[in-house]
Structure 1
Amino acid sequence: MPQPLLSSWPDQLTHFRRALNPHPPRMTSGPEHGHGAVALILRPGPQGAEILYIERAAHPRDPWSGDLAFPGGRIDPEDGGIRQAAERETYEEIGLDLRDADYLGGLDDIVGAHLPVRVSCCVYALPEGKNPPLRRNHEVSDVFYMPLDKLRAPARHIITRIDWNRAPRETPALTLLPGNRPLLWGITYRLTTQLLNRIGLPLLPPNVVSAG
C-alpha cells in the first residue's frame, strides 16, 4: 500500500478516493434516530494531509457543548440530502464553501452510544494552493487543522475518564490540543478512526490511562 503522507497531493487524493469507494457507505436507519450530517475536510500540509476540526461553543442545552467535532448538524427537510446538509452546515458554522472542494466519498454511519442520533459523514479535500479564510459563527469557539502524522503519534491515543450526563465513564480519546483543552472522543473520534483505518493508517492501541 502506498504511503499517502509521503506522496504528492494528487496521489494522496487518488489513494483516499480509492480507499473510500470500494463500496457505498453503510447507512443506518430507524425512527428512533435523529439524523445529522458532518463534513470531514482534508487539506494538503507540509507533512501531508491535515484534518479540520472545530471546538463547539459552550451551551447548556447542547449535549456536545465544548466538544471537538467536525462541522455539521441536523439534516433539514429542505436540504435535499446528506451532502447538501453537510455543506450547508459547514458554510453556516465556519464560512467554508465546499462547492469547490473535491468530494471523495462517505464513511459508514455512526450511531450515538448514549444519544438517539445517527451521523453520516462526507469526506472532502480542499484544492492544493488554496487556503480559504474561515468565519466562525456563534456555535463554534475555535477551528484548527491537525496533520495526520501528528494525530497518529502514539502518546496522543489514550483511555480517559470523562463525566458525561453526570455519569463518569472510560472512553478512548485523542489529545489534539495542548493544556486543558477538550479531547477528541465519541462520534468524531469514531469517524476519525474509521477514516484512518480505511486509508491504511490505523492508530496504535491506546497506551495511557488519564483522569478526565
Structure 2
Amino acid sequence: MPVLTHSPHPTALQAMSTRMRNFRPRRRWWRRWVKRSAVALILRQSHGEIEVLMIQRAEREGDPWSGHMAFPGGRMDPDDRTGLRTAMRETEEEIGIDIERAGNVMGRLSDLVSRPHSGRRPMVVSPYVFSLHIPVSIDSNHEVADTVWVPLTYLADHRNRQTMEVQRGKLNFVLPCYHYKGKQIWGMSLRMLDELLELVGGLVSMVEENPGVVE
C-alpha cells in the first residue's frame, strides 16, 4: 500500500485517495468526437464502513436505462468544459448534493462505451470518484426514484454475487449482478464498481482510527 505522508493515522478514504491519484485510467482517445456523459461515484465512511451512493432511475418511456440502478450523472452540456464538471453539475441537479462544497474529487476510473438514447454513434461515459467530508441530505429530482448507500464490503464479497438473464433481441445473456435491499446492481454500474474494488483492494474494510468521519 502506498505510504501516506499527510496523516500518521490515515483513514480508509485517505488511503483510497492515494491509490486513486496513482491510478492511470484507460481513456478513449476518440471521446471528443462522440457523445459524452459522466457520472459520480460518491463515497462516505460511516461506522468503519465505506459506502457508495447509488440511485435508481425513474421509470420513463423510451429510456433504455429506465428503473436501473446507476450513479448520478448525465450528458455533457456544451458549457461543461470537462467530464468532471458534468459529473458535479449532474449530481447537484439530480440529488441536490453540491459535491464541490461537501466533498473532494479522488480521481477517475476508465472510460466506458455505452449505447446512446438515439443515433448510431456510441457514447463514452467517464466515471469520477468523490469522497464526502461533511454530512449531506439528498433532495432528488424527477429523474431519480430512489437512492441507497451500498457498503463496498458487500460488493467485495463475491459470495453475494449472483447472475441474471438479459435478452437482447433473440439472444439471452447471463450477466453478473448483486441484489441489495431489493435493488439489482448490474451492467455498466457494476463494471465501474468492479474496477474501483480492484483498485482499492482490502482498504474497503479498514476501520477508522481517528474519529472524524461522515456519519
- State if a TM-score over 0.5 links the two structures: yes
Task: Specify the alignment match of 1:206 in structure 2.
Answer: none
Confirm or deny: 8 A CA contact 1:37 1:73 kept in the other structure: yes
Shift of 1:10: 4.5
- Counterpart for residue 141 of structure 2: 137
Q: Is the 8 A contact 2:13 2:45 kept in 1?
A: no
Once the two structures are superposed, residues 151-206 of structure 1 have per-residue CA deviations (whole angstroms, 9 ceiling, x without a partner) of 3333321221123567532111121223xx4x11111110000000000149xxxx
Alignment pair present for 1:172 and 2:203: no
Q: Percent identity?
A: 34
What is the one-letter code of the residue matched to 2:93?
Answer: E
* Distance (Å, rounded) in 2 between the aligned partners of 1:173 and 1:9: 35
Are 2:165 and 1:161 aligned? Answer: yes
Q: Provide the residue aligned with 2:128 in structure 1.
A: 122
Distance 1:167 1:105, change over 3 A: same
- Runs of at least 5 residues in structure 1 that lack an aligned partner in the other structure: 3-7, 203-212
Distance between the aligned counterparts of 1:84 and 1:14, measured in 2?
A: 22
Q: Residue 118 of structure 1: CA displacement?
A: 1.5
TM-aligned CA distance change 1:152 to 1:30, over 3 Å: closer
In the alignment, what sits opposite 1:79? Answer: 80
User: Judging changes above 3 Å, is the alpha-carbon distance between structure 1 residues 185 and 144 closer, same or farther for their aligned structure 2 residues?
Assistant: same
Give the Å deviation of 1:144: 1.1
Q: Which moved more, 1:74-83 or 1:15-24?
A: 15-24
Task: Name the structure 2 match of 1:151.
Answer: 155
Q: Relative to structure 1, is the Cα distance of residues 23 and 51 closer, same or farther in structure 2, using a 3 angstrom cutoff?
A: closer
Would you say the 8 A contact 2:31–2:124 is kept in 1?
no
Q: Which residue of 2 aligns with 1:186?
A: 187
Contact preservation (8 Å) 1:47, 1:147: no
> Residue by residue, what CA displacement relative to the aligned partner does 1:127-151 show, whole Å, maximum 9, x if unpaired?
1xx3211111010000110111223
Secondary structure, aligned partner of 1:108 = coil
SS of the equivalent of 1:79 reads: coil
Deviation at 1:106, TM superposition (A): 0.6
Aligned to 1:19: 19
User: Is the counterpart of residue 96 in structure 1 residue 97 in structure 2?
Assistant: yes
Given that residues 47 and 149 in structure 1 are in contact (C-alpha distance below 8 angstroms), is that contact kept between their aligned partners in structure 2?
Answer: no
| Residue type at the aligned position of 2:16 | F
Which residue is 2:65 aligned to?
Answer: 64
Unaligned ranges ≥5, structure 2: 3-7, 117-121, 204-215
TM-aligned CA distance change 1:47 to 1:164, over 3 Å: farther
Q: CA RMSD in A?
A: 2.4
What is the aligned length? 191
- 1:61 Cα deviation after fit: 1.4
Q: In the superposition, relative to structure 1, how do residues 33 and 171 fare at CA in structure 2: closer, same or farther (>3 Å)?
A: farther
Q: Distance in 2 between matches of 1:33 and 1:188?
A: 21
TM-score normalised by length of structure 1? 0.81
Alignment correspondent of 1:51: 52
